[in-house]
Structure 1
Amino acid sequence: MNDWNPALYRRFEDERTRPARELLARVPLVDAARVVDLGCGPGNSTELLVQRFAGAEVSGTDNSAPMLESARQRLPSVRFGLSDIAHWQPAQAPDLIYANAALQWVPGHEVLIPRLFAALAPGGVLAVQMPDNRAEPTHRAMREVAALAPWAQAIGDVDALRSAVLPLAAYYDLLAPQAALVDVWHTVYQHPMASPAAIVEWVSGTGLKPFVERLPAALQPGYLAEYERRIAQAYRPRADGKLLLAFPRMFIVAQRKP
């Protein structure tokens, strides 16, 4: 997959940061010595960690050089590094491993989640938020249009474009035997959007990206036009003329035994 676009991602920064803030609010730590932001993106979530744990050594990691450069500009005092979450290991056991809207891009959660949890210091916390929107019209339409000519051949297997998250209860079962506590929940956000084009712009920075970038440049406008047409059918104007974008997200907070 081509690199991420920090500017496009930040166009909806308030909406993207809200679940990050709500995840952090449920972290049961008074203080922390070492905090890691996995998949830190442009640093919006890392900034929350710096504010919450003022005395901690906070670091961020991501697999996107442009995202890391944006994060460094935002938080020049924080150490950011390039890494792949699938193979990431901390040099020292963190008190908090925080992953906001990142792990849905990493396969093998049956192995990944226990490995991250085991990397914590005693009493440490793993805090994860992931979109759970594969069944939403935004994501169904991506796959439906990708199955049509002339786009299907270039896009290929749509199921390979994003790792499937597990059912929420499965994460509880992975963590509960070794945890002092596990807190799991779903929230469905309702984001007012100005138009179908605004919804397309939102998902272009994340879920739609791997579909479009597999297409030759000549085929991309047609795919996006058909996708936006289907979005307009799926999301009808509300009383004020805006569209409500339902966005389900799952949250997992687990604390190791002391």
Structure 2
Amino acid sequence: MDRSIRTTEDVLSLLDGLFAPQADRWTAGGADWWDGFYTDRSKPVPFFVAKPDESLESYLERGLISPGRALDLGCGPGRNALRLASLGFEVDAVDLSPAAIAWAGERAREAGADVRFHCGDAFALTSAALSGPYDLVLDSGCFHHLPPHRRVSYLALLDRVLAPGGHLALTCFAAGAMGSELPDADFYRTSGLQGGLAYTPESLRHIFRDLTEVELRRMRDEPSDSPLFGESFLWAVLFRRPAG
């Protein structure tokens, strides 16, 4: 007989277990899946390129964000973390996959970039590892791989580490272009994330309603010879935490 649930985290962990292992790609148990994904570096995966997001570059050029402390969630091979470090940001970057972290570390050493890489589940890492407060939390492709109940953990992490007046820079699947549009409840019936969740502008504004919207638009497509990464099936969103 199992009667072990007594905390909110126990409930969240129970819901995690409803998903098939192959779909559970964002928790510590999904590290093997992502390791396999990052092993072949020659695959034509758009975000394997060593280029920062065009949206991030746009925020920087327009002065919407400026150097400070930054946290890169789901950093992958480190393309955005390295760009931030090159501009004087103090950067922490986290990813589940040891292979991704190893690749990012190689790129950082080649570039002479100072980035603190952390391998693990951002929700489970201690406050000592992700000490905060961060002036910028950057998420380029992590949020849309979370099952619905883990938005609770995501918002709690932001509440803990995002500085007053700090920004969340988010890119995620755009409804009608990429990702599953199933209602939240249906993911628990199918026990899978269907490759990732699509979002509408209204859903993003609802989820992050405690933050102030600075900009919400589709990411611009960037040609292969561009120094920037851009795919129009993604939303590019910048939110700001109220200063007081």
Shorter-chain TM band: 0.5 to 0.7
Q: 1:84 aligns with which of 111, 117, 121?
A: 121
Aligned twin of 2:221: 189
3-state DSSP of counterpart to 2:162: coil
Q: Output aligned runs, 1:93-242, within 5 Å.
A: 93-108=133-148, 110-118=151-159, 119-132=161-174, 159-176=192-209, 178-187=210-219, 189=221
CA contact (8 A) 2:75 2:94 kept: yes
Aligned twin of 1:240: none
Q: Which runs of 5+ in 2 are unaligned?
A: 1-21, 23-32, 181-189, 225-230
Query: How far 1:38 sits from its partner (Å)?
Result: 0.7
Q: 1:40 aligns with which of 65, 68, 75?
A: 75
Query: How far 1:121 sits from its partner (Å)?
Result: 0.8
What's the TM-score once normalised by structure 1's chain length? 0.59
CA RMSD of aligned residues (A): 3.3
Aligned twin of 1:29: 65
| Separation (CA, whole Å) in 1 of partners of 2:211 and 2:162 | 11
CA contact (8 A) 2:98 2:119 kept: yes
Q: Which runs of 5+ in 1 are unaligned?
A: 141-156, 193-245
Aligned twin of 1:242: none
**RCO higher in 1 or 2 (8 Å CA, sep ≥ 6)?**
1
Query: How far 1:163 sits from its partner (Å)?
Result: 3.8
1:248 and 2:233 aligned: yes
What's the TM-score once normalised by structure 2's chain length? 0.62
Query: How far 1:45 sits from its partner (Å)?
Result: 1.5
| Separation (CA, whole Å) in 2 of partners of 1:100 and 1:45 | 8
| Separation (CA, whole Å) in 2 of partners of 1:169 and 1:16 | 31
CA contact (8 A) 2:172 2:199 kept: no
Query: How far 1:181 sits from its partner (Å)?
Result: 3.8
| Separation (CA, whole Å) in 2 of partners of 1:172 and 1:93 | 23
> Percent identity at matched positions?
20
Q: How many residues align?
A: 184
Relative to its length, the structure with more helix (as a share) is 1
| Separation (CA, whole Å) in 2 of partners of 1:254 and 1:29 | 11
| Separation (CA, whole Å) in 1 of partners of 2:106 and 2:138 | 21
| Separation (CA, whole Å) in 1 of partners of 2:74 and 2:103 | 13
Q: Describe the shift of the 1:86–1:168 C-alpha distance in structure 2 as closer, same or farther (beyond 3 A).
A: farther
| Separation (CA, whole Å) in 2 of partners of 1:188 and 1:67 | 25
| Separation (CA, whole Å) in 2 of partners of 1:41 and 1:99 | 11
Query: How far 1:165 sits from its partner (Å)?
Result: 3.3
Query: How far 1:36 sits from its partner (Å)?
Result: 0.9
Larger radius of gyration: 1
